[in-house]
Amino acid sequence: MLGPTAHNRRVLSGMRPTGRLHLGHYHGVLKNWTQLQYDYECFFFVADWHALTTEYENKSVIRDNIYEMVVDWLAVGVDPASANIFIQSHVPEHAELHLLLSMMTPLGWLERVPSYKDQQEKLREKDIDTYGFLGYPLLQSADILAYKAGHVPVGEDQVAHVELTREVARRFNFLYGREDDFVDKVEAAIKKMGRKNARLYSELRRQFQEQGDHEALERARALLDEQQNITLADRTRLSGYMSGEGRVILPEPQALLTPMAKMPGLDGQKMSKSYHNTITLRDEPEMVVKKMRTMPTDPARVRRTDPGDPDKCPVWPFHQIYSSSEAHQWVSEGCRAGTIGCLDCKQLVIDGMQEELAPIRERAVEFSANQKLVENIVAEGSEKARCVARKTMEEVRGAMGLIAS
Ligand code: TRP
Ligand code: SF4
């Protein structure tokens, strides 16, 4: 069944600038971004405010990583000609929306987001018993809703945040989506479409409401998108009237998971900076070799002739990403029989990794040397993002009873 945002072609995602990006970011999220950018209208941003929730005591971390992270994005192929790249704090509308949403978000919703207690446990050395940290997922909701994004490509750990965003949007629409004169405004808007389109719209609405015909719903939305004579607010009203939800001001987004969401780390846990088990996108070739060669293998294999079991070896998951199915067979048989050496086995992974990293490294050097270009890309992206977010804020303020200045 098509959801309420199935027609929405806008994608938004962000990353915190807290350190060098690694292969986990690349396989878990970035590769997905580079594929989405040609099919969707994409907004990718540096979540510097989110980084501050945990790094507020050492500002250099964020300052040093903002542009470096953008360089990494550009190096992996995020294309500023297709996607808008920007910095969260350069679009203050995110903060305003966060504030407004905080008025209507029950505390309990934030307290029971799984990452809240998890992170507080994990990051004990940091004092994150703060107002800002509790609000982290709500700020994320504001990021997403400011653009009315339909899709949010993220790693698995972020799904709960997208889920919260959906609840917040639903509550917002429920509280503020019902104008007193809604039906009058809808009727006026229908008239503005001209007689032929008005009749078609009404017919499609009847088909959807009486027969649950989702194709009719989609057709009606396409029809609304084509209308030149109606305002954005009217379009939203007519879309809401169509599906019977009142007026959907903030549409509910969906998480878009990358199929290969989990990148293994050098120790068998998931790859993550906090586990110190990463290969970064800018590690030099020698570093890649060193990290791979020293990574643990099946402990049963002390000598080359000792039989092992790939399922007990953290190198094995890397083969799934970096080597061919023939290689899998060679490894699997040779490991179990004790006829191949672990270094030979690892070499296949190293080769695949170097091949993947070489062009990224090269492009990173180029962008790094051209700071001005990177700054311009971000300035342009931030400006475009702001245009969209400003429009949303006008609607949101009005819906919540604030008066335009
Ligand atoms: N919380 C996300 C992370 O840690 C980063 C983020 C902030 C984000 N705002 C977002 C991701 C909005 C997607 C959409 O990875
Ligand atoms: Fe791991 Fe490969 Fe060594 Fe087997 S041969 S233990 S799979 S590194």
Three-class DSSP category at 402 = coil
341 or 1, higher pLDDT: 341
Question: Which pLDDT tens digit goes with each residue over 142-183?
Answer: 999 999 999 999 888 899 999 999 999 999 998 898 777 878
Rounded to 5 degrees, φ, ψ at 153 are: -75, 120
The pLDDT value recorded for residue 126 is 78
Ligand 1 neighbours, Cβ below 6 Å, are: 12-16, 47, 50, 140, 143-144, 152, 154, 158
Residue 261 has pLDDT above 70, yes or no: no
Report the pLDDT value the prediction gives residue 298, as an integer from 0 to 100.
96
173, two tokens: 């629409």
Tokens read off for 34 = 């580079």
Does ligand 2 come within 6 angstroms of the Cβ of 319? no
Any domain includes 405:
no
The percent of residues in the chain predicted with pLDDT above 70, rounded, is 97
Q: For residue 314, give the CATH number of its domain.
A: 1.10.240.10
Give bridge partners of residue 151 from the DSSP assignment.
11, 254
**Same domain for 333 and 380?**
no
Q: Are residues 193 and 298 in the same domain?
A: no
Which residue's CA is minimally distant from atom 4 of ligand 2? 335
Sequence letter at residue 167:
E
C-alpha of residue 48 to centroid of ligand 2, in Å: 40
Lookup: tokens for 397? 């303020």
Are residues 9 and 41 both part of a single domain? yes
Q: For the segment 25-47, what is each residue's pLDDT rounded down to a tens digit?
A: 999 889 999 999 999 999 999 99
Report the nearest atom of ligand 2 relative to the CA of 346: 8
| pLDDT tens-digit readout, 97-149 | 999 999 999 999 999 998 777 777 777 777 878 999 999 999 999 999 999 99
293 shares a domain with 227: no
pLDDT tens digits, one per residue of 202-237: 999 988 878 778 899 899 989 999 998 898 888 888
Local confidence band at 246 (pLDDT 50, 70, 90 cut-offs): low
Q: Does any ligand 2 atom lie closer than 6 A to the CB of residue 298?
A: yes
What's residue 239's pLDDT?
86
Determine whether the shortest distance from the Cβ of 251 to ligand 2 is under 6 A.
no
* Total domains in the fold of the chain: 3
Residues 220 and 287 in one domain: no
DSSP string, 309-348: -GGG-TTHHHHHHHS-HHHHHHHHHHHHHT-S-HHHHHHH
CB 5 within 8 A of CB 254: yes
Is the CB–ligand 2 distance for residue 340 below 6 Å? Answer: yes
- Write the pLDDT tens digit of every residue in 269-307: 989 888 999 999 999 999 999 999 999 999 999 999 999
Residue 2 in this model has a pLDDT that exceeds 60: no
Identify whether the C-beta of residue 285 lies closer than 8 Å to the C-beta of residue 303: no
- CB-based contact 318:279 (threshold 8 Å): no
Q: Are residues 19 and 68 in the same domain?
A: yes
pLDDT more than 90, % of the chain:
72
Please indicate, yes or no, whether residues 162 and 39 belong to a single structural domain of this protein: yes
Together in a domain, 286 and 345: yes
Average per-residue pLDDT for the chain: 91
Contact assessment for residue 198 and residue 176, using Cβ atoms and an 8 Å cutoff: no
Structure tokens at 118: 């998890």
In a domain, 131, yes or no: yes
Q: Are residues 33 and 109 in the same domain?
A: yes
Does 203 fall in a domain?
A: yes
CA–CA gap between residue 6 and residue 20 (Å, rounded)? 35
Same domain, yes or no, for 363 and 382?
Answer: no
Domain encompassing residue 347 = 282-367
Of 109-123, 188-202, 263-277, 390-404, minimum mean pLDDT range: 109-123
Q: Which is nearest to 385 in space by CA: 57, 133, 138, 88?
A: 88
| Confidence (pLDDT) at 142 | 98
